[in-house]
Chains A and B, each alone.
Chain A
């Protein structure tokens, strides 16, 4: 019982009785004739670290700006905490946003920047001072309080921007590419910091990112967007293991995509004849029409070297190693299986590199289990 309660708290979207904190209801935003956001419906729950993931121009930033009130939807409604905020201007919404450029006021000191939002609420001077110093302490930028933004490094600016948005104690924090302006090393540590911060203060975060690794690391759930639409909303694990669309599978991590047609439904499995001439068998509960075109997605780390290769073997494929990418812990092998197709296989480097099993030009047979791939129809 205790276990079930806990699970409900961690994954409120699994609970049919949970009230979404943000509800986006059939929202469309058109710029001239272009659909930036196309009929999006989405629920985000209290305490979530929710990521909107997609390539640039997919509409993720517009969706965020719609939540902030910086854009008005062409159609649809937006609710925050049960209240219809569709027509509420940005300055009245109980929401704060951290801009990609940070948008720090260049003519104000760090302290004044952080205090800016508080001055808009009628807080006493003392209360404001307390909150500012709390925020500066929280983000460890106390010693920068008298500096102007142009005297700060990228990482310091990010902290100031975060302090400024958090100072107002918003219920919902929107972050537009929060780590985009940081260099790679800084970004990785900042990811963990951001997650820790969110867990500590317990407010709902919605971030926009184009970096799938960042989304995977930080999020409770990810919404993958393409061309103004949300394709899939799920936990990072589900997005990775069970993508529902070719686009999603392709966008997140490395994947081998086999085109083919359904030959047979066999209980909880489906048999597919692939275009490279091999038969694939995968676990899939949906009944597929015979001859229907499908795509099979198999992650490179799910492949292994096949000791028992057969000419008509199922879930087996043979080719020549064309390329090896040595990443230290693992190596990625690119295997030419047909003139038109390369298959990628990741192997853990158990042995030192000099004693590796495979080398360039070597013929290799690979196999996988029916449960380690997904059948995609779209």
Chain B
């Protein structure tokens, strides 16, 4: 989901260091995890070790591309990874980077939401490789007070128009707009605003979307995939195109800081990208048994409910829903209403050529060329 954040290149070392000081020195079973930053609850790993005696070693990334590069290079040394299903998981399965799951070792698997499982089957026949982990959307993080001050009290804020209508964007320029540095996400949003198929790879559609993005470009402060979290929380940005969990985290931080910044997460009415992050075991995982044990642990309703409470992303385990805190369960930003769900965009995996075309267009937009 989020993209590159250089700080997280440093964090793995810190984490590994911390964990190894807690753990006893003698050789014991370990499971190597490679996950997004802030994507477990605080005690998820500790409890797992208590329960199984397997010591988890965690490295972090904030960008699917980084994970994918490591997997493609091979011998990553990881047992469990957490890619986004589309387009990454799909491509990685095609490249044969994952091993099939031993479902006998994953007793909680059959409890998972059949709709989610069915959707994953499109890219992973028989759900052989991927287990859904958390679900999020890509929407808008809004500093309500500042946006209303700029656009007027009655302005609609649940719309991509805030980004793509040049008149509105221009009014918000000075208080700050950011867009995810991700070609697929940015084009999907622009196509949705134009009322076109967000998965369209038709040249005319893409040209139109590129024009919309270029127009918006003049009012945009930066393209980045994680920096908006703190900027939104501090009031340095008033509109951020970003991932639901990240924006909701910014909202909590703003509340904690109590400096009068109120952040709201909005799912645009024109449609928003729904992303499913999944769990998978790389083909060359050093300890597949421990990997299965860890996935089985994540399938426990109490464990995943705790994670949802913490990271503000919905899970695909209906049995866990009652265990999720009331405030989280009823937050439409996390568990959207049925009406909103209807408009979710499910991304299709672009071909290599399409991806290159998209990235090339994206580079040109960013560079104003």
Complex contact flag A–B (Cβ < 8 Å):
no
> Chain B interface (Cβ within 8 Å of chain A)?
none
